[in-house]
Structure 1
Amino acid sequence: MNRSMMSRLTAAAVSVALLAAGLAGCGGSGDAETAEGEMIISVNNSEPQSPLVPSNTNEMGGGKVIRYLFEGLVSFDADGNQQLEVAKSITPNEDATQYTIEINEGWTFTNGEKVTASSFADAWSFAANVHNAQKQGSRMSVIQGYDELQDPSVAEDAKLSGLEVKDDYTLVVTLNQPDSVFPVQLAHQAFFPLPSAAYDDIDAFGHNPIGNGPYMLESWEPNKNIIVVPNPDYKGNRKVSNDGIEYRVYTDPEAAYADLSSGNLDVMDSVPASALETFQTGESIVAYSQPGSSYQGFIIPERLEHFGQDEEGQLRRQAISMAIDRDQIVSKIYHGTKTAAKDFTSPLVPEYTDDLPGVENLEHNAEKAKELWDKADAISPWSGEFKIAYNADGGHKDWVDAVCNQLKNTLGIDAAGDPYPTFSDIRERVTDRTITSAFRSGWQLDYPSAEDYLTPLYASASADGHGSNDGDYKSEEFDAALAAALSQTDEQARTEAFHKAEEILLQDLPSIPLWCDNVAAASAVGVQNVAFDYTNMPTYNTITK
């Protein structure tokens, strides 16, 4: 890792430590219809799975837009340094079980309503209440009263008991257990505020959201584009340098790249696999390549036959993982633009390490893989076909085919990809638990902490549709180890505790980590001020042309 990147991570780690001590003070082409002289930046996107409600969005088609329509209590800049936004200060008690949040006055939603402590408290309670079935509801599980709101008999308007609105600009948050990372977690979109109008009809609100971020919604034409324009009343740190963003929906990354190359698309956040070998030398585009944080892998649900949370299931997961030659795929297909997984996080978080006990389960070892598979067969003989489902509009076919070929050759099983036309198609099957095979999974970093990879993806509270634990992995041992890490206010002790939690994952393999995506992006010639943040995403507000 280069020195500048390391300094960024150090800054992020210092930010976490300071907060623990207390803070103060995918479609088609065609240009958007805009007035002459307006600088609208066109970018690639996929159709959002759901209406644009922050607590009900856990995929990037909607997430890319929501991040610019709303602003939270805190944010992270492009280098991963934390900064206050709506929050004036965030002060913990001695054991990090309670936080007093002072809110800046003067913030408003785009309908003129003031942003107050209740704007946050009501939104968090709405997200947590089981009747609202919010995909990111489990993000509230750390707050006192969450478990009570999971009872189906609870009142539809019941609130989190751990939230006390002291006055319009003071919110006291009491947690279920110590959580020294809570101020960092507040950067997640699930903690964004909502105006009171949202609760009249949350679905209608999601189609025409009213936010407090640097942009506001101009239009949304499903399966074509979403256009946002600057919010003149925005009070935060993300200054806008253009006249708007057109999030253009593409179902084929090759079509997006063709538009980019011909100057009909301004920015593409990830070039297709077919262009990775040549995109950095192409004269028709401007290429960007740097270390990234986006995790990629695939999940084998525990409900599938032969893959339960038992000895056979663990043996088969470990065998499959060892049968995969990640370095070969990264080299041959992706030309070094990805980093083979060594743990369940990424090199862009301070807690990353590549030498945890159990890392051998992520390393190619064909002989050991076959041995473990045979041991599993002795418990219960394998039959059938092993499939990996993926969305065909995301450029995943090449790696899925490569992985399946490696499984065939090493384990002697019938393995094949199972394509779904669009991301929304596969996400619906994953969300309602009707998918009957393994399936690709990806994770975009929300804030630079290992916790963001661990809690939402593997905690029991995030399973069963309450979060992003799509394989419904549940381990009391892992939950306890994660809780122990979050209770540590000392940075080094917290890092070591996170590593203990990851060691459990390396044995259980609730997902099969493959690699982290480096930034491999491009812009059209003439587009300027393109930068990428710690999430691998362009800083859309800075782009000009």
Structure 2
Amino acid sequence: MRGTTRTVAVAGISAAALLLAGCGGGGDDETTDTSAAKTGGSISVRGCNPENPLVAGNTSETCGGNVLDVITAKLIKYNVETAAPEMDIAESIDTTDNQNFTVKLKKDYKFHDGTVVKAKNFVDAWNYTAYGPNAQLGSYFFEPIEGYADLQSEDPDGEEGPQKAPEPKAKTLSGLKVVDDNTFTIKTTGKVSNLPVRLGYSAFAPQPDAFFADPKAFGDKPIAAGPYKLDSWTKNAEIKLSKFADYSGSDKGNVDNITFKIYQDSGAAYADVQANQLDVTDEVPASAQIDDKYKQDLPDRNLQKPVGVIQTITTAPAAVDPNYGPEIRKAISMAIDREGIIKAIFNGTREPATGWVSPVVDGYKADVCGEFCKFDPAKAKAQLAAAGGFKGGKITLSYNADASHKEWTEATCNSIKNALGVDCVATGVVDFSTFRTQIHDRKMKGMFRTGWQMDYPSIENFLAPLYGKGASSNDGDYNNPAFDAKLAEAAAATDGATSNKLYQEAEAILAKDMATIPLWYSTTTMGWSDKVTNVKVTPFGVPHYAGISLK
């Protein structure tokens, strides 16, 4: 999508943009055309505990994100088959220099409360999310917009100290201006040639005026502009959605009601799908993947597809646990038999990771990690010795116990223990919400599983939000100025090939530091009841909930 001039019209982003955003699709999951699908009725789908109230700018995990994706609408949306960016609330996004953007909205696009989505609803929401004292997890995504630094302030003695952080210099981004009800402008600090591709991520969703009256309470029953609205949320039990009758977009839902049933165990959800007590599960437990058992359990109602998801192991920041430095991480990485674990636990349905970027996005480069992502017990042990040995007693690998991670984390620990001669223990945390809270609060020690589902189809999305200084999902507090400088250089490039090359150079810096330990690129395996049809999975690894219908 790189170019000195971009005109983004209602028909879609330019052909060059689609090339940059190109994402592997395919698979054998295609069913009937959802445009002719039966409408009406109710379905239930597997859910998990959101970490936080459902505020678009403060949700950075899939449990809450999957719900938000159904109830929100943004400037653009991503094609269900290819992830190519397409216009949604935006009528056009124009730029001549990749730094100054003019956004025009479609008229009379409505929120769930009946109010019209206006330019100010985007600008106000983005300013709220970017403003440091609001402590929104999505704040980092607004860093490219002019004035972001002035909305931040640093606590002089840390969060636990008696001193308070000073008020930021400004409360609004200088790079955002409302022109009229249907037009606003964006100015970035430097050139950001893939900015329009990013704008389909949930952090960029607009908020209705009602949000600003009570942002804290709003997240329990959010008002958005998507095809479904949230009716109720019974914590730890279910989230109920209903079809929004006045939805303004093109991706209108098929069923009248969707219930996200919250499970503490993916195996229980799978059993309920088998018994037709649950209509869709987006996770098939490892026990059902051995010898393709799920295909016998769920004949003609299953699918498997490579998606833009990578599984990694992150180590606690050095300030929290100093025992897992870069050279130790390299030793641990070489001690992991990725191929053996994939074969034994996942029935060959994963691909060993050789870097930090998913193969489904344009710009992927193989074997960035080199020898450190290859299983070699002898080299692993020598590397550990050269690093001075492991000083922390036993290695720990934590995971959320409400999903199917127990088997592979235990297999990974066994591989590490056998190769390095150091005890390794896989440790379950009760649920995803608790697990992520411990990580965000920097209370998680040792190693912990981290998975990344792309927010938008770009190589940049696998790098900047995870490893940029202060980034929202930088769980290990990785910090390398050379890496950040390379990201900035790549973002400013004016053609796709140059940009991708620079992002690849940034990824090579991650390899030198072993920022995290890449494990495998994911394949989504799903199953459904015999009551539903038109089940598809997006390139993001998420069911296309709005397209599902009853038979």
Q: Fold conserved (TM > 0.5)?
A: yes
Is residue 2:460 matched to residue 1:451?
Answer: yes
Query: TM-score with structure 1 length normalisation?
Result: 0.90
CA distance in 1, matches of 2:448, 2:221: 32
8 Å contact kept, 2:143–2:149? yes
Amino acid at match of 1:207: D
> Which residue in the other structure is 1:428 paired with?
437
Q: What are the ranges of 5 or more consecutive residues in structure 1 without an aligned counterpart?
A: 1-15, 26-36
Equivalent position to 1:23, from 1, 5, 8: 8
Q: Aligned ranges for residues 265-304 of structure 1 at < 5 Å?
A: 265-277=278-290, 278-283=293-298, 286-303=301-318, 304=320
> Which residue in the other structure is 1:374 paired with?
385
> Which residue in the other structure is 2:46 paired with?
44
Q: What are the ranges of 5 or more consecutive residues in structure 2 without an aligned counterpart?
A: 11-38, 154-164
> Which residue in the other structure is 1:6 paired with?
none
Amino acid at match of 1:267: V
Show CA shifts across 1:295-345 (max 9, x none): 11111123254457xxxx221111111111111111111001112112212
CA distance in 2, matches of 1:280, 1:18: 46
CA distance in 2, matches of 1:19, 1:514: 38
Give the superposition deviation at 1:144.
Answer: 0.9
Moved more, 147-156 or 235-244: 147-156
What is the DSSP-based 3-state SS (H/G/I as helix, E as strand, rest coil) of the residue aligned with 1:506? helix
CA distance in 2, matches of 1:439, 1:478: 23
Is residue 2:128 matched to residue 1:126?
Answer: yes
Q: Aligned ranges for residues 254-333 of structure 1 at < 5 Å?
A: 254-277=267-290, 278-283=293-298, 286-303=301-318, 304-307=320-323, 313-333=325-345
Show CA shifts across 1:355-385 (max 9, x none): 33x43221112222111110111xx762411
What is the DSSP-based 3-state SS (H/G/I as helix, E as strand, rest coil) of the residue aligned with 1:208? coil
8 Å contact kept, 1:145–1:162? yes
> Which residue in the other structure is 1:88 paired with?
91
What is the DSSP-based 3-state SS (H/G/I as helix, E as strand, rest coil) of the residue aligned with 1:281? helix
8 Å contact kept, 1:239–1:541? yes
Q: Aligned ranges for residues 112-511 of structure 1 at < 5 Å?
A: 112-151=114-153, 152-154=165-167, 158-277=171-290, 278-283=293-298, 286-303=301-318, 304-307=320-323, 313-356=325-368, 358-377=369-388, 382-462=391-471, 467-511=472-516
Amino acid at match of 1:167: D
8 Å contact kept, 1:393–1:422? yes
8 Å contact kept, 1:261–1:285? no
Show CA shifts across 1:3-53 (max 9, x none): xxxxxxxxxxxxx3589723123xxxxxxxxxxx95112110101111110
Amino acid at match of 2:301: V
Question: Matched residue pairs, number?
Answer: 507
Amino acid at match of 2:406: K
What is the DSSP-based 3-state SS (H/G/I as helix, E as strand, rest coil) of the residue aligned with 2:343? helix
8 Å contact kept, 2:3–2:494? no
Counting aligned pairs with the same residue, the percent is: 36
Give the superposition deviation at 1:525.
Answer: 1.6
> Which residue in the other structure is 2:28 paired with?
none
Inter-CA distance 43–305: structure 2 relative to 1 (3 Å threshold): closer
Amino acid at match of 1:411: L
8 Å contact kept, 1:389–1:440? yes
Q: Which aligned runs of 4 or more in structure 1 are off by greater than 3 angstroms?
A: 16-20, 304-308
Amino acid at match of 1:281: Q
Query: TM-score with structure 2 length normalisation?
Result: 0.89
CA distance in 1, matches of 2:249, 2:169: 33
